Structure 1
Amino acid sequence: MQHLLITITIAIITVATQQYLSTRKNWIIGIFLPTIWIGFSVWINYFSNLKTTRSLIPACVGMFLTLMFVWADGRVLVKKKVNEELNKMKIHDIK
């Protein structure tokens, strides 16, 4: 039970960090965690001596997809924020 709690906590912290990084102006910052996750997944599945690595593949793919969806959502939020700022500037210029 304790291992499950630690795993869930790490996943929540990772997704929260990804959300923060993906909403920065520089889009490439949000790609760091998915890239690190791919490296970790390859290492755990091919280079570790765990007997259960085949069962970890769906979890690794699921976490990667989650990180990518969070990144894409963050980019949409950044674009929306920039457009709102531009609209405010245009309205201010019209007055």
Structure 2
Amino acid sequence: MFKFFMAIMVAIVVLATQQYLSTRKNWVMGGFLPIIWLGFSIWIIYFSHLKTNHSLIPACVVMFLTLMCVWAEGRESLKKRINEELNKMKIHDIK
């Protein structure tokens, strides 16, 4: 049971970090975690000598897709925030 809660806590920290990095102006920062996760997943599945490797594949794919979705959402959020700031500046310039 402890391992389950630790896995959930790690996932929450990773997703929160991904959300933060994906909303920065440098788009590459948010791409690091999905690439690191992909490498880690490949290492765990193919180079580890665990017998339950194939049961981890769906979990690794879901986490990778989740990280990519959070990255895409963060990029859209940044674009929206920048557009709102530009609109405020335009309105202020008109007055």
TM superposition score normalised by structure 2 = 0.98
Matched, 1:79 2:79: yes
**Aligned equivalent of 1:22:** 22
Matched, 1:5 2:12: no
Cα deviations by residue, 1:27-80 (Å, 9 ceiling, x for unpaired): 110000000000000000000001000000000000000000000110011000
Query: In structure 2, how many angstroms separate the alpha carbons of the residues matched to 1:22 and 1:7?
Result: 22
Letter in 2 for 1:44: I
Unpaired segments of 5 or more residues in structure 1? none
Query: In structure 1, how many angstroms separate the alpha carbons of the residues matched to 2:6 and 2:53?
Result: 19
Runs of 4+ aligned residues of structure 1 deviating over 3 Å after TM superposition are none
Report sequence identity in percent: 69
How do 1:1-95 and structure 2 match up within 5 A?
Answer: 1-95=1-95
Query: In structure 2, how many angstroms separate the alpha carbons of the residues matched to 1:9 and 1:82?
Result: 32
Letter in 1 for 2:82: V
TM superposition score normalised by structure 1 = 0.98
Give the number of aligned pairs: 95
Unpaired segments of 5 or more residues in structure 2? none
Give the alignment's Cα RMSD to 1 decimal. 0.5
Query: In structure 2, how many angstroms separate the alpha carbons of the residues matched to 1:92 and 1:28?
Result: 32
